[in-house]
Amino acid sequence: MKMHNFNSGPSILPDEVMEQAAAAIHDFNGIGLSILEIGHRTSWFGDVMTEARSLVKELMNIGNEHEVLFLHGGASTQFMQVPMNLLDSNETAAYVDNGIWGTKAVKEAKLFGNAIVVSSTKDRNHSYIAKDFSIPADAKYLHFTTNNTVEGTEWHHIPETNVPLVADMSSDIFSRPFDYSKFALIYAGAQKNMGAAGVNIVVVRKDILGIKRAIPAIMDYRNHIEAGSLLNTPPVFAVYVALLTMRWIKKEGGLVEMGKRAKERADLFYNTLNALPAFRPLVVEEDRSFMNATFTTAKPEMEDVFLGLCKQNGMVGVKGHRSVGGLRVSMYNALPLSSVQAITDLMKDFSEKHA
């Protein structure tokens, strides 16, 4: 039986993406070679990279002011690569700290320039998003995490500001339509909502690049742009899986459809959660994430009982992140509504027996 996959990352991918990726390991596009054994400078892989880069733009509806890169190192590498490329040592950058990933991003930025926290929600365990804060007029950029994977909050609107926006979209990339052209830089690790671990996507507006600092060649976005995202050997297979996922998103109806499905899943989950006395949400209603729902049992000692039931019923990934505890259900693009139905049915059952 296929499991109900609520993993937070690496996480669920569409079945057909898995089938196509598996087939390409045996024989890539009928060329008689595996995707794992062709050079990254062949036209076979060149076509993969070109299509992947252009599909990102197409799905996000952005033009030629932006460039798309597929880079190594996970989103955590972007915590340092972003300020290394955008922030000179005498300049200020504004950071929103809404969770553990935001906290890590600020820490890295401080190594490069004057990174200041303009909004922190630490006072209430990051259980909400503070929307009113002021940004110094001379800030080079405002960095925020669109979806807080661990804490379960999400920005449902883009912050209003004239300062260039930089966003870590690791866990909600391609989950909804947005005005993506408003962002100066977007980055995301692929393994949450768009592919396999091992690759990051970076979307950068070219006009924000160019600072005084000397940047190691492999860290400099401009070199990657010039090389068409083939500066050194890219994570070939991970790029291919991201391409397959983007093709799937496009075929299913693009980000409008992904947004609609995300809302359906979130509505079903949170409406159930709100109605059940045996469970408690961990974050305020208006800021709840459509991707990662965090909650707990009303009686702490019942948490393991519920997790045991999930296991018995073929549901994985429901335990909360080690830093916040509790429970978490991740509902990424590929998660069918039927999986949310299954876990909400189990929660109702559990609530009747144990409330």
The residues annotated as belonging to the active site are 101, 168, 192
10 Å CB burial of residue 22 (0-12, 13-18, 19+) is exposed
Tell me which residues in 36-95 interact with ligand PLP (CB under 6 A): 74-76
- Secondary structure class of 94 (helix, strand, coil): strand
x-or-dash pattern for ligand PLP, window 185-224, by CB under 6 A? ----x--x--------------------------------
Stretch that binds ligand PLP, among 166-174, 202-210, 215-223, 256-264 (CB under 6 A): 166-174
Residue 140 beta carbon to ligand PLP: minimum distance, rounded to whole angstroms: 21
Contact 128, 282 (CB under 8 A): no
Residue 171 beta carbon to ligand PLP: minimum distance, rounded to whole angstroms: 4
Between 76 and 92, name the residue whose CB sits nearer to ligand PLP: 76
- For residue 271 the two structure tokens come to 């409406």
Buried b / exposed e across 195-204, counting CB within 10 Å, b at 16+? bbebbbbbbb
Between 170 and 351, name the residue whose CB sits nearer to ligand PLP: 170
Check the annotation: does 149 bind a ligand. Answer: yes
Across the strands, what pairs with 203?
A: 68, 186
**Binding of residue 170 to ligand PLP (CB under 6 A):** yes
Check the annotation: does 8 bind a ligand. Answer: yes
Q: Which residues contact 80 (CB under 8 A, 6 or more apart)?
A: 108, 109, 111, 112
Tell me which residues in 134-163 interact with ligand PLP (CB under 6 A): 145, 149
Between 149 and 333, name the residue whose CB sits nearer to ligand PLP: 149
Chain centroid to Cα 277, Å, comes to 31
Contact 249, 174 (CB under 8 A): yes
Stretch that binds ligand PLP, among 168-176, 215-223, 305-313, 336-344 (CB under 6 A): 168-176
Separation between Cα atoms, residue 230 and residue 232, nearest integer Å: 5
Phi, psi of 32 (to 5 degrees): 85, 10
- Secondary structure class of 176 (helix, strand, coil): coil
Check the annotation: does 76 bind a ligand. Answer: yes
Total of chain residues touching ligand PLP, rule CB under 6 A:
12
Cis peptide before 159 (omega within 30 of 0): no
List binding-site positions for L-glutamate. Answer: 8, 41
Interface residues toward ligand PLP, by CB under 6 A: 9, 74-76, 101, 145, 149, 168, 170-171, 189, 192
List binding-site positions for pyridoxal 5'-phosphate. Answer: 75-76, 101, 149, 168, 191, 232-233
